[in-house]
Structure 1
Amino acid sequence: MPVLILQGGRDYQVTVDDDLARWRACLTHCADVDIRVHDACDHLFFPGTAPSRPEQYAHPQHVDEAVIDDIAGWLK
């Protein structure tokens, strides 16, 4: 079954270096896995430039358009 994994590069809860590396290692034998990192996004896929902080989640924002495009394109 195809799998899409998206990761925010600014995510401090699930990190690229630790957590995503484990996913990659576990899924190396799977042929239909697509992993994409959105460097500017936090845990909720909100874009930004500064390090992500928990208090930012309290403010309404929009999911990065590139994330939505990735999901829509993958589903096609």
Structure 2
Amino acid sequence: MDYQKTAQALVNTIGRDNITGLTHCATRLRFSVKDKQIDEALIEAIQGVNGQLYLNDQYQVFVDLGAINEIYDAVLALLQA
């Protein structure tokens, strides 16, 4: 899996300006977003994404086991650039 490509697709689909925060747990990226209107079909089509949901004011994206840290780091780098 190309972690950078997955991260870029997530940021592009969710919207860089829409993301106000990012955390993660063992299996999910947890995005704080301004606007909950995110194209779920596009998110589901991203390599490495296994599901999503909006819960507790977070847009949560499930990713492949073992890839969470690499994808998180790649997304974080894109957001800080």
TM-score normalised by the chain length of structure 2: 0.31
The structure that has the greater radius of gyration is: 1
TM-score normalised by the chain length of structure 1: 0.32
Question: Higher helix proportion, which one?
Answer: 2
Question: Higher strand proportion, which one?
Answer: 2
